[in-house]
A and B are shown apart, each in its own frame.
Chain A
């Protein structure tokens, strides 16, 4: 049972436009959410995170939005750049009081075209 879902396996966006990557989760115990970026032949690298007490977190061109009632989060990249082309994984964890595991989605491959 996939508790974290990324329903779009791929996304193509023109350089300079906004990229919106979506993620849905089913476990209401999740309270911390992260996005990781992965280039080919490399491990995933941390990009941005958000706690369930917030609904928005911004870091430069990257903003993550959290809608707890809908169990949905999204990553916005504005403006998109060719170097943003990568696979993006959404991840979630529950119970901030323990060293609990991260549950990842299946990833969305973003292609930023010139």
Chain B
């Protein structure tokens, strides 16, 4: 199993540009999570999907952020327009949810720098 695959690993862009981060979860997993890591706030949950349906997007900072999961094997996180304060490492994670357990497997992350 290749694990959770994220792309790009690094992205440098200018303020105002659109950024799209991609994630391929582990085959068979039914939950997908997007987290953002910053020094001040640690790992913040942005949004999560269960069976491709968005369940909780209360962590999405503002309307500039959007996420989709068109099928069980692919998800995107889009920032439009991007701002310097969006600079962070964005992690995608997936899990097979069973009652009482929720161990997430994380991808290697996408490091975003907005100039």
Spell out A's residues near B (CB within 8 Å). Answer: 2, 6, 32, 34, 36, 41-46, 49, 51, 89, 91, 93, 96-97, 99-107
Whether the pair B102, A100 counts as a contact (CB closer than 8 A) is yes
| CB-based nearest B residue for A99 | B97
Distance in angstroms between the alpha carbons of A105 and B56 in the assembled complex: 19
Count, chain B residues at interface, CB 8 A: 31
Known: A89-B42, A105-B42, A106-B41. A44 touches B106 (CB 8 A): yes
The answer to whether B45 touches A32, judged by C-beta atoms less than 8 angstroms apart, is no
How many angstroms between the C-alpha atoms of A102 and B39 in the bound complex? 18
Q: Which residues of A contact B105 (CB under 8 A)?
A: 46
Q: Beta-carbon contacts of B51-77 to A below 8 Å, as 1s and 0s?
A: 000011000000000000000000000
* Interchain CB contact under 8 A, B108 and A42: yes
Distance in Å from the Cβ of B107 to the closest Cβ of chain A?
5
